[in-house]
Structure 1
Amino acid sequence: MEDPINVVIIDNHPFTTEAISHFFKNEEMGIKVVGTVTDGRKAIDLINETRPDVIVMEPYLTNINGIDLAEEISDKYKDKIKIVIFASYACEELTRILYKIGVHAVVLKEEPFKMLINAVKQSYLGNILLSNRKIFKQNHHQLSMTEIEILQLISQEKKNHEIAKQLNMSKRTVEYHITSIFQKLDVDSRVGAIMKGAQKGLIYV
């Protein structure tokens, strides 16, 4: 019997990590979950301890920048540990960034679970899986990474001038981005944008 592919799961919600673990426990899949974590700040310690073959992770973590975490993992372990991004949402800009830093696959949570299984197995073999077409298909309706960041700050009740200062851009530029956010999310208020963003899994409030 071949050794299983050891996997660590990083996600905000215990329900998600437990659900993925449950599916992976099927021995026929050849995948073994060696650890799960819902606090991104503890992820590196868990990875150092378990040394998985593949990491399945949510990029929009609540207490740490998931992209920075993925980059840190990629820089530290190179190709020894593969990264599969499992996200509710992934705009084209985010996807390009993820592949650039060394992620092997991006799978949307709306896809059949077999897609995640395949991504884990293929990435373990060193193969790069190009994103599902759905990520690119409706890109004109998707928020950019900057817009997601601004939406997150809006959810924290930041004013336009505060957002401008924090992101080192003009207040007018922030206003342009907010207008774009409203149009893409089909809302007409900050409250509406926050609610729609949360529903889509873009932000956590």
Structure 2
Amino acid sequence: MIRVLIVARSLIMQAGLEALMTREPTIQVVGRTAELSTLEQSLRTQQPDVVLLEFALLMDTDLELLTTVHDEAAIALLVTPNESYSAATLLQSGIRAIIPMDVTTDEMIVTVEAIATGLVVLHPEVAEALLKGLAEPDEPEVASDAPLTPREIEVLQLLATGLGNKAIARQLNISEHTVKFHISSIFSKLNATSRTEAVTLGMRQGLIFI
């Protein structure tokens, strides 16, 4: 039996996802919540194998949860076409699946079953975008439309002072792994390949000052 925890903003969405999951006898929905603040407690008490997580719930501080949650359960992230995200960064943070909200029931169930066994699942739309980005390294670099979060700007500002990952982690009271996650996201959003380039681009865009 695959135990599933649903994390979505609205009760209607939670109920809809639960209805999809309960069509499969090998899947059991063990909980529903709209609050990421209670996610770690839910992981302890309900012990899910899979977390269905609505991407829109993720904010700056909540992104840090991804670095710890994936050790407890496989995460399937539900996205909409108008949301801006870096698939590569999310996969590096431990996400096991990235799928659109409008997938079919069969696709949703297969995804849950697959990531519960340790596999990584990318919907064709997500995979196509990811592979296109990897296949075109010589294209002119253009900054992403996705803005840096307040925490990412803090990290970038500390990068500009020359601090290493451990020092940044101590300064912001977060884990070193989380710092690496933020730096990877900064690189992706700014299309930077080094710390120096990221800092330079950040200064040009008025994100940081030194």
Per the normalisation by structure 1, the TM-score is 0.61
Match of residue 8 from structure 1: 5
Count of residues in Structure 1 that have an aligned counterpart in Structure 2: 152
Match of residue 167 from structure 2: none
Shift of 1:166: 9.5
Supply the RMSD in Å over aligned alpha carbons.
Answer: 3.2
Shift of 1:38: 0.2
Match of residue 50 from structure 1: 46
Offset from partner CA, 1:54-76 (integer Å, 9 cap, x none)? 1111233166644322222124x
Shift of 1:132: 2.3
Shift of 1:149: 4.2
Aligned equivalents of 1:32, 1:121: Cα separation in 2 = 12
AA aligned opposite 2:205 = T
AA aligned opposite 2:10 = H
Per the normalisation by structure 2, the TM-score is 0.59
- Unaligned stretches of 5+ residues in structure 2: 134-142, 158-198
Offset from partner CA, 1:137-195 (integer Å, 9 cap, x none)? 497xxx94x72446xx8xxxxxxxxxx789747575159xxxxxxxxxxxxxxxxxxxx
AA aligned opposite 1:147 = A
- Unaligned stretches of 5+ residues in structure 1: 154-163, 176-205
Match of residue 108 from structure 1: 100
Residues 149 and 29 (structure 1), Cα distance of their counterparts in 2 relative to 1, 3 Å cut: farther
* Aligned counterparts, 1:119-198, within 5 A: 119-134=111-126, 136-137=128-129, 144=144, 147-149=146-148, 168=157, 172-174=204-206
Offset from partner CA, 1:65-122 (integer Å, 9 cap, x none)? 44322222124x3xxx21111122465x621112112221111112223221111001
Aligned equivalents of 1:64, 1:49: Cα separation in 2 = 25
Contact 1:56 1:85 in 2 (8 A): yes
The farther-off stretch of 40-49 and 53-62 is 53-62
Hey, which of these two has a bigger chunk of helix by percent?
1
* Aligned counterparts, 1:12-91, within 5 A: 12-26=9-23, 28-61=24-57, 65-75=61-71, 77=72, 81-89=73-81, 91=84
Tell me the SS of whatever aligns to 1:147: coil
Q: Which residue of the other structure, out of 87, 94, 105, is the alignment partner of 1:95? A: 87
Residues 165 and 5 (structure 1), Cα distance of their counterparts in 2 relative to 1, 3 Å cut: closer
Contact 2:50 2:74 in 1 (8 A): yes
Tell me the SS of whatever aligns to 1:12: coil
Aligned equivalents of 1:171, 1:86: Cα separation in 2 = 33
